[in-house]
Structure 1
Amino acid sequence: MQRLLDALDGFPAYAIAPDWTITGWNTAYAALYPNVATVAPSERNLLWLVFTDPYVRDLLPDWETTSRGFLAEFRAEAGPRLGDLARSPIIQRLLRTSEPFRTAWQDHHIEGFASRLRVFHHPGQGVLRYEHHRLAPADHPDLHVVIYTPAGLPPG
C-alpha cells in the first residue's frame, strides 16, 4: 500500500483503516498536513485529528461542516460495526475530550462518501483546492486510499 501512496507523489494521499486510523501517507500529504508524521501513532486517527488538532481546524475553512461530514461518513461506513466502534478507545476519548464531537455524535447523522471539492487554508501555500477521491483496493478492501487531485478554478 505504501508503494501505491508513494507512486501518487505530487498528489496528497493517505490510507485509513476501518476505524479511520491513518495507516500510511505520501510526502505530498505530509506537506499538506505535517503533523501526520509527528503525532503519536495512538492519535493518528482521522476523527481524532479533525476534532482535536488546532492545525487541522485552521487548515479547514469550513471546519464545522467538514468535521460533521467526516463523522457522518464514519457512521455510514461503520454500518453494523458502529456499536463496536462506539466503544472503541478513540471514540470514548473523543467523547470525553471534544465538545463539538460529543454534539455531532448525538446527532446520529449518516452520509455516504462522495467525491467532492475540498478547500484548504495552508499556512505556507495559501488557499489550496483539491478534488477529494477515495478508492478501496481489491486486495485490501478493509483500507481506503484517499487522494486529493488539483481542482481547477471555479467557472466565472
Structure 2
Amino acid sequence: MVSQQQQQEYRLHELGDFLRTRRARLTPEEVGLPRGNRRKTPGLRRAEVAQLVGVSVDWYTWLEQGRSISPSTQVLERLVQALHLDVNERSHLFLLAHQQPPPALSQEPEVVSPTLQHFLDHFGYRPAFVSGRQWDILAWNDAGCAVFGDFRLKTTRERNTVWSLFVDSASRQFVVDWEEDARRILAQFRSSCGRHLGDPQLTELIHELMHYSPEFRAWWPDHEVLGAQEVKKTLNHPQVGYLVFERLTFQVLDTPDFKTTVYTPLDEADTPRKLEHLLEQWYQQEGQKPHTPKAALGLPQVQRLEQDTVALWLAECCQKVEGAWVANNTIMTSYTLWCEANRYEPKKAKGISQSLATHGLEIGVNKRVLDEHHRRKMTRGVRGIVIL
C-alpha cells in the first residue's frame, strides 16, 4: 500500500518533471532574454527561470528537484507567466504544487465556443443552456427559449439563474415546490462560490440578492453547500400547465467554470406533447424549421445497427466540399447527437472512420488549428466535408 509520504514524494517529483519540460520548450528569445554564446542544451536554464520569477537559483533548483517546499500562489502565477503556460497547464501546476485548483481568472471573458453551441442546438426538444461562473446563462437552445422565455430579450441579471429564482416574482408560480428548489440551488451556488472568493462580480451579485430577496438574506448565512444533483423538476408553464422533467447539470471539461444543464421531458403530465406544442409555437414565431425531427420526442431507444447511420447522417447534416476539413471531435459530436435525435444506435469511433472512408472521404488528416487560447495544436480530422 502506498504511504502518504510516498504519494507526496511522487507528486513533488511530477512537479519537478513538469517544470523541466516546460522550460525546455522555450527559447531565451521567446521570454525576452539574450541567447548567449555557450548554450549546449535547448530551452531555458534554471537560472533564467529563477530570474524571470524573482526567486533564487537555489530555491528554484530545489523546486525542480522535488524538495519539500511550498511555493506561494504568487510564485506559481509568476511561473505561469514565465513559462508561458496555458489554462490547462496552469491548473496542472497548481494541482501538483498545492493539491487544489488555481484561483479563478475572474477577468477572463466567458465565451461559448461554436462547438458547445452546436451541442446545445442538437438537444432538440430538450431545453438546455450553459451558465458561467456567476451563474449567468451564456448560451441556450430553442427549446430553452420556448420553455423559459426568450433569453435574447433578457438583461444579464434576468439571465442569472439565482437572481431570476429569488428576485423574479413569477418564478414562485412557475417553479413547483419553489422553496425546496430555491434552497437546493442556493446550496449549489454557495459551493461554486468557494472557487471564486473575492470575485468582484460575484460579490456584487450577492450584495444585491441580500438586498432584494428576504429568503436569500435569511438562508445565505446558513452556509449550506451542495454539489450538482440529478433531480426531478416540475414547472407550471403559463401556456400549457404542468411540465415534468429530469434536470441534469454537468461540467464542461474544456472550460470547468461552464455548466451545461439539460431538461429531459418525462411522460408525466403529457409533457412531451406540450413541449412539442411550445416549440412549434416558437418556430412559427421565429419563422424557422425545427432542427430536430418530431420522431426524436418521446420515442424509445431502439437498436438499428443494420442501417448505414453514417450515410444517413452525411446526407442530412453534411455537404461534400473538396479540400474542406473537419476535426474528429466535431464529427463525433454531430453524428452522436443526430443518432440520438433519430433513435439510432451510434457506431463506435472506429466504425465511423471505416464508414467515412467507404464514402470516399480522407480520414486521419492532421491539421494545425488554433485552440480556445489561440495556441496552435495538431488535430486529427477528415478531409472532404463540411457540417451544415
Distance in 1 (alpha carbons) for counterparts of 2:201 and 2:224: 14
Find 1:10's aligned residue among 89, 110, 125: 125
The structural deviation recorded for 1:80 is: 4.3
Find 1:143's aligned residue among 238, 241, 258: 258
Runs of 4 or more, structure 1, over 3 Å off, are 82-87
Corresponding residue number in structure 2 for 1:60: 175
Percent identity between the aligned chains?
Answer: 32
Find 1:74's aligned residue among 189, 203, 214: 189
**Amino acid in structure 1 at the alignment position of 2:230:** S
**Amino acid in structure 1 at the alignment position of 2:179:** E
The structural deviation recorded for 1:146 is: 0.1
Helix, strand or coil: the match of 1:24? strand
**Amino acid in structure 2 at the alignment position of 1:14:** F
Contact 1:86 1:92 in 2 (8 A): no
* Greater relative contact order structure (CA < 8 Å, 6+ sep): 1
What whole-Å deviation, never above 9, does each CA across 1:61-114 have from its counterpart, x for those lacking one?
111111111010111222243454796221111111111111111221111121
Corresponding residue number in structure 2 for 1:99: 214
Corresponding residue number in structure 2 for 1:122: 237
**Amino acid in structure 2 at the alignment position of 1:34:** G
Helix, strand or coil: the match of 2:170? helix
**Unpaired segments ≥5 residues, structure 1:** none
Aligned residues: 154
Corresponding residue number in structure 2 for 1:133: 248
Distance in 1 (alpha carbons) for counterparts of 2:152 and 2:176: 23
Distance in 2 (alpha carbons) for counterparts of 1:140 and 1:6: 19
Corresponding residue number in structure 1 for 2:60: none
Distance in 2 (alpha carbons) for counterparts of 1:4 and 1:121: 27
Distance in 1 (alpha carbons) for counterparts of 2:258 and 2:246: 20
Corresponding residue number in structure 1 for 2:226: 111
**Amino acid in structure 2 at the alignment position of 1:41:** T
Distance in 2 (alpha carbons) for counterparts of 1:107 and 1:12: 32
Contact 1:10 1:28 in 2 (8 A): yes
**Amino acid in structure 1 at the alignment position of 2:124:** D
Computed over aligned residues only, the root mean square deviation of the Cα atoms, in angstroms, reads 2.0
Max radius of gyration: which structure?
Answer: 2
Helix, strand or coil: the match of 1:143? strand
Contact 2:134 2:201 in 1 (8 A): no
**Amino acid in structure 2 at the alignment position of 1:107:** D
Change (3 A) 1:48 1:149: same
Contact 1:120 1:128 in 2 (8 A): yes
Q: Is 2:148 aligned against 1:33? A: yes
**Unpaired segments ≥5 residues, structure 2:** 1-115, 270-388
Distance in 2 (alpha carbons) for counterparts of 1:87 and 1:145: 19
